[in-house]
Structure 1
Amino acid sequence: MSERTALHTAVERLAGRLRALPQRRLRAGAAAEGLELARWLARQAQLLEFPGREPYDMPDDGIFVVGDQLAVAGHELAAVADRDPGRAEGVLVEALRRLAVTAKAVG
């Protein structure tokens, strides 16, 4: 399995888990963990796509959309990585590591 495919699968799994969590668990830190990861993924995608531009910060749109934000950021990173796989390889490896750590923290 390619790293891009693994990223897509891991992002979908964690985003689905975040979407299904009860409000209590989201407020207890799961949403913050997911948003932190989504912001990192979005930043990496922007750095790869627009290397000379300072990346925009992903906003905090609330605990109930963090799963969607994670999915969008992860899929954007995968799409950008497709265009320049050589430059993106290290970022994809780190993204998979961070996804695993966040998935474990979210439960």
Structure 2
Amino acid sequence: MRDTSELTAAAERFADRLRAAPQSRLERGAAAEGLRLARELATRAQRAEFPGRPPLTMPDAGMFAVADQLVVAAADLAETLRTAPAGAPEGDLDEAVRLVREAEGRSGL
């Protein structure tokens, strides 16, 4: 089993910043960036867990829910990667952490 704490910690940090952001900052794109990331992480988790099945799209639950959506998507992907069989691509975890950090940077938070 792999240690996925770096992914969950990065997602929690970004989510905390989203929760603390003023509404005007969320409206200027921070919430949209968080939702894009949450959707990407959720898609990756579904593809890994259910190969061959088309992934469902995470709904837009509103700018004030995006932080929670991000945390849930990251936790789902982390668990999928943590329990992946031996020999699964190690780069998936590193790439997910990179995606979180890049999205946080683009969000302006």
Q: Quick check: TM above 0.5?
A: yes
Matched residue SS, 1:87: coil
* Aligned-pair identity (%): 51
The separation in 1 between residues aligned to 2:89 and 2:3, in whole angstroms, is 10
Alpha-carbon distance in structure 2 between the residues aligned to 1:81 and 1:39: 17
> Displacement, 1:5?
1.2
What amino acid maps onto 2:59 in structure 1?
P
The offset of 1:90, in angstroms, is 2.1
Counterpart Cα distance in 1 of 2:68 and 2:23: 15
Matched, 1:99 2:100: yes
Distance 1:66 1:17 in 2: 11
The structural deviation recorded for 1:20 is 1.1
Gaps of 5+ in 1: none
Q: Partner residue of 2:29?
A: 29
Q: Distance in 2 between matches of 1:88 and 1:60?
A: 30
Give the Cα–Cα distance (whole angstroms) in 2 for the partners of residues 41 and 89 of structure 1. Answer: 16
Aligned partner letter, 1:57 = T
Give the Cα separation in 2 of the matches to 1:87 and 1:19.
34
Partner SS, residue 51 of structure 2: coil
Which structure 2 residues correspond to residues 15-94 of structure 1 after superposition, within 5 A?
Answer: 15-84=15-84, 86-94=87-95
Matched length: 106
For the Cα contact (< 8 Å) 2:3–2:82, is it kept in 1?
A: no
SS at match of 1:53: coil
**Contact 1:16–1:67, Cα closer than 8 Å, also in 2:** yes
Q: Gaps (5+ residues) in structure 2?
A: none
RMSD, aligned α-carbons: 1.4
